[in-house]
Amino acid sequence: MKLLLLILPALVALAQPAPPTVLFEDVTVIDAEGVPALAGVSVLVQDGRIRTIGKRVRAPKGAARVNGGGKFLMYGLSDMHVHLRGGQELVEDNAAWLPLFLANGVTTIRDMGGDLGEHVMRWRGEVAAGRREGPRILTAGPKLDGPKPVWPGSIPIATPEEGRAAVRKVKVSGADFVKVYFSFVSSEVHAAILDEARKLKLEVTGHLPNNMSLEEAAGRGQHIEHFHYSLSDGASRAAAEIRASYKGPPSLAELTRNGARAFEAFDTTLLPGLATRLRQNRTWLTTTLLVAGRRQNLPPDRHAGHPLRKYLFPGIWKTWDLDTGRRRAPTPASANAYAERRRTVRSALAALHRDGVSLMAGSDCGASNNFAWPGWSLHEELEEVVASGLAPLDALRLATRAPARFLREERTRGSIAAGRIADLVLLDANPLESIANTRLIAGVMARGRWYDRAALDAKLRAVEDAAARKGSGK
């Protein structure tokens, strides 16, 4: 009996057909070890791993060959900030996003928590077992929030004990990390959460609480989502006063007023000091530059006729529609303030990057995060990063090597080298010449399984058809 139990998992593993051997020939490898681009090489993929890279690699018998002539092979992209969420009625709508990520070369996503935890964890397992096509999923499970959570599905926390219990609950649920979403939190509760998470070996990431300094949050080991939120704390002369003014969760009006005040008192001479503190604390910042702007500069049809809308199920669209969703259309004043802030945020991103702060790319796409199209929005995010002043290679690394480093997976992921898991994207044009070329996808490999352009188009069509059956575009 004991022996049978040992053999069973092996049999289950064998039941999955091994990915075929594939040889990419005469391709230019982007971000090869030590060089930005390595031209005219072959890359052999076997059993889901990159085996060999070299000028003369012979195709083993039965290997599929992909002609890489004039093409560029980069590592699969990670979108480190997405949300699979929106309630039980949006389960299918969210599941339909998984092939969309894949078709866009996004081979890993980090779900930042929502209300579909069990489903997300099921999808995570199915993808890993090869039973569902999609990106590898990492998930926060439920978010940790104050006594009155902002989002459904979050765990409400009022005391240090509840904080510790919530972290244990997240651990038991099988989540990959802890997401905190406090708009206001006491030091004691925050410290308890970070301490419990450290004991359970879970990373903690999330928003910077409004009443907490970056110093304090990062000093306890919290990583920061939406790095631009933390800027107003780390590099504004008004930050300490604003922080101290909060006696409880701030209202939206307070946040808007104080956000404007913080950015008015923004002082770029504070950035090097901020960078030093972030480096010392080994804090990771996630960019989500794109999503805020999506609601500010709207076309007259408010994206109703957007060419990508056909891939959304109507339930998700409803959360994006500015009349039915939770976010309203911008006012001229909010659009102006956004344009002003965007300049500050962009130059600060470039400064922090120059000073060696650890950054990762995230698009923040999800239900209720209007017009950040799943998969496509990561490419747009990288374009924002380049517009901020980073070189295309550095922007690419924010979605390849950096997430691997954050996850302590550099030996198995993040770059094209022997031994790495074969998550790859073949491009028709050089992404180092223009970051927009990451959109010109000739094929995607996920864990060694190759999808050429026709296969990716078939996937897109299948989602489009399913969305149409649900009544998208109506």
User: Closest Cα partner for 113 from 87, 142, 137?
Assistant: 142
| Spatial separation of the C-alpha atoms in residues 458 and 276, rounded to whole Å | 48
| Spatial separation of the C-alpha atoms in residues 254 and 250, rounded to whole Å | 6
- Nearest CB to Zn ion, comparing residues 287 and 438: 287
Nearest approach in angstroms of CB 309 to Zn ion is 21
Q: What's the one-letter identity of residue 138?
A: L
Number of residues that bind Zn ion (CB under 5 A): 2
**Residues 423-452 contacting Zn ion, CB under 5 A:** none
**Residues 22-41 contacting Zn ion, CB under 5 A:** none
- Nearest CB to Zn ion, comparing residues 204 and 442: 204
- 111 is a site residue for Zn ion (CB under 5 A): no
- Nearest CB to Zn ion, comparing residues 112 and 204: 112
- 145 is a site residue for Zn ion (CB under 5 A): no
285 sits in which H/E element:
strand 284-287
Which of these ranges, 108-116, 145-153, 161-169, 276-284, lies near Zn ion under the rule CB under 5 A?
108-116
Nearest approach in angstroms of CB 364 to Zn ion is 4
- Nearest CB to Zn ion, comparing residues 42 and 369: 369
Nearest approach in angstroms of CB 144 to Zn ion is 14
**Residues 64-83 contacting Zn ion, CB under 5 A:** none
How far from chain centre, in Å, is Cα 275?
Answer: 22
Q: Please identify which residue in the block is written with the tokens 């989502």.
A: 225
Nearest approach in angstroms of CB 294 to Zn ion is 13
- Nearest CB to Zn ion, comparing residues 196 and 364: 364
Nearest approach in angstroms of CB 112 to Zn ion is 5
| Spatial separation of the C-alpha atoms in residues 40 and 70, rounded to whole Å | 9
Nearest approach in angstroms of CB 180 to Zn ion is 12
- Nearest CB to Zn ion, comparing residues 320 and 451: 320
Output the residue with the shortest Cβ distance to Zn ion. Answer: 364
b/e per residue, 10-27, with b = 16+ CB within 10 A? eeeeeeeeebebbbbbeb
- Nearest CB to Zn ion, comparing residues 193 and 367: 367
Question: Within 13 Å, how many C-alpha atoms sit on residue 299's CB side?
Answer: 7
Binding mask 313-352 for Zn ion (x = CB under 5 A): ----------------------------------------
Residue 123 tokens, joined: 């999808």
With contact defined as beta carbons under 8 Å apart, do 40 and 424 qualify?
no
Long-range contacts formed by 380-383: CB under 8 A, 24+ apart:
380/290, 381/79, 381/287, 381/288, 381/289, 381/290, 382/435, 382/438, 383/435, 383/436
Nearest approach in angstroms of CB 286 to Zn ion is 9
- 364 is a site residue for Zn ion (CB under 5 A): yes
Q: What's the one-letter identity of residue 152?
A: P
Q: Which residues bind Zn ion (CB under 5 A)?
A: 112, 364
